[in-house]
Amino acid sequence: AQTVTQSQPEMSVQEAETVTLSCTYDTSENNYYLFWYKQPPSRQMILVIRQEAYKQQNATENRFSVNFQKAAKSFSLKISDSQLGDTAMYFCAFMGNNAGNMLTFGGGTRLMVKP
Amino acid sequence: SAVISQKPSRDICQRGTSLTIQCQVDSQVTMMFWYRQQPGQSLTLIATANQGSEATYESGFVIDKFPISRPNLTFSTLTVSNMSPEDSSIYLCSVSLSGANVLTFGAGSRLTVL
């Protein structure tokens, strides 16, 4: 079974600065997908970024980028120019290629952006 | 991406009662899932709602406690039966469009059991 680990329960960053959230995972599969979801206090789960394991290039979405290290099974999220609206829980998630689109989530990192 | 409407948004229930949560999607979707998020915790998959057949439950979840219906490709319900305070959680519906390999989530239903 796949496992996803987020080792940072809480983090904080000053507005406009950069922060990196860590995620590691364990799988025996070669093809899979990795995700970062954001859950603000409204509790709506919002997709931040998605990475396909067969792609070597790191995914980027505006201020959000990932550092995907397949051999190390590491998938960190970098948030640049942090904004107050980035304050939320961030969940790393894994989807196996043969998992029927099921997601396995990490424990989450609570990010606070300070003015 | 799909738009998901989940009802109720929140509810407060008495111990021993049951509550049904509805999930309506604005387009036909292949896969529908129900997740539970206990207070301060991550999301745990309860079951996959299969259209026209019984739901597939994950370890630790049983049909008698969490009966699920999926009468068509745009709608599903999750019932939390014989509730206890330990069932107080956010319940989230999620869907995957065919071939998309990404899940979209509803806004969740926050359930408090007294």
Per-residue pLDDT tens digits for B61-75: 999 999 999 999 999
Kindly report, residue by residue over A25-68, the tens digit of the pLDDT: 999 988 999 999 999 988 889 999 999 999 989 999 999 999 99
Best CA proximity match to A25, nearest among A17, A13, A33: A33
Best CA proximity match to A47, nearest among B104, B106, B27, B100: B104
Rg (CA), chain A: 14
State whether residue B48 sits within 8 Å of chain A by CB.
yes
Give the Cα separation of A77 and B48 in Å (integer).
28
Q: Is a pLDDT exceeding 80 seen at residue A4?
A: yes
| B55 within 8 A of B112, measured Cβ to Cβ | no
State whether residue A40 sits within 8 Å of chain B by CB.
no
3-state secondary structure of A86: helix
| pLDDT above 90 as % of chain A | 83
Which residues lie below 8 Å from residue B53, measured CB to CB, with a gap of 6+? none
Q: Is a pLDDT exceeding 90 seen at residue A14?
A: yes
Give the Cα separation of B31 and A102 in Å (integer).
9
Residue carrying the six token digits 């290290």: A69
Answer whether B45 sits within 8 Å of A44, measured CB to CB: no
Q: Is a pLDDT exceeding 90 seen at residue B81?
A: yes
Which residues of A fall within a CB distance of 8 Å from B45? 102-104
DSSP string, B26-50: SS--SEEEEEEE-TT--EEEEEEE-
**HSE-up of residue B89 (Cα within 13 Å, Cβ side):** 20
Give the Cα separation of A48 and A92 in Å (integer).
10
Q: Is a pLDDT exceeding 90 seen at residue A102?
A: no
Beta-bridge partners for B94: B33, B105
Which residues of B fall within a CB distance of 8 Å from A102? 33, 45, 48
CA distance B15 to chain A (A): 24
Answer whether A33 sits within 8 Å of B102, measured CB to CB: yes
B contact test, residue of A6, A55, A97, A103 with most B CBs within 10 A: A103
Can you read off the two tokens belonging to residue A57?
């290039």
